[in-house]
Structure 1
């Protein structure tokens, strides 16, 4: 009879253990699903989280990839600052996304942003290079 009690006790412990393991596996799978498939909503972020998010996403962009302006807008949302100029059939547009705050004054300036330059809606430059290329392209067209 003691062996029956010991066997039942072992089965109960194994049952508790398997229930805990099942719960842990479900938790890990749900967490992974949220992290992998849930898109961050930039419109709902506070300014500090959005800066970090912008920096993280922009740092992943490669110029040798074909990054389209619509993809950037869909991922990062509306830019903080933007300038555009049409030169014949060529459209230059620079989008500024805030990635670091330098002064707590409530105003976003270009020096607090990372620039993305698009030529005919394709990404061609990032950062300081984007700003200087945009200035060179737009000032060369002026008389």
Structure 2
């Protein structure tokens, strides 16, 4: 009788291990082939997602504006101006809600400043540089 019990327990352990491995593989496959879609996220998830992605960006890199738009979707607020041959655009993505009023304001967002579609500043630096550049634009 103990040999039969040992065999049953042994088989259960094998099946549980196989089930756990299958679960892990399916989870990893879903994460790999089904990336986050910002258009389908609720506002709270999107804020966390935006903040997480923006933290990975560097203004010293070569991040193109289209890459940001492809990853984060449409910005919550945007502004732009031309200065001679240069185009400056600031995109605001909401990363933290301050007032639950249903309105997104710039102080609830992280700014990304682009010059000729290339990221040059992030956050408060982006806002101050944009304001300075637009005030001095010809």
| Cα distance, 1:13 vs structure 2 | 3.1
The CA distance in 1 between the partners of 2:8 and 2:105, in whole Å, is 65
TM-score (norm 1): 0.88
Structure 1, 121-130 or 57-66: larger mean CA deviation:
57-66
The CA distance in 2 between the partners of 1:12 and 1:104, in whole Å, is 57
Match of 2:100 among 104, 108, 115: 104
5+ residue gaps, structure 1, are none
Question: Which one scores higher on RCO, CA 8 angstroms, separation ≥ 6?
Answer: 2
RMSD over aligned CA atoms reads 1.6
Q: Deviations over 1:77-119 (max 9, x none)?
A: 0000001112222110000001111111111111111100000
* Counterpart for residue 51 of structure 1: 47
* Counterpart for residue 91 of structure 1: 87
| Cα distance, 1:9 vs structure 2 | 4.6
* Counterpart for residue 113 of structure 1: 109
5+ residue gaps, structure 2, are none
TM-score (norm 2): 0.91
1:19 paired to 2:15? yes
1:134 paired to 2:138? no
- In structure 2, relative to structure 1, the CA distance for the partners of 1:92 and 1:14 (3 Å cut) is same
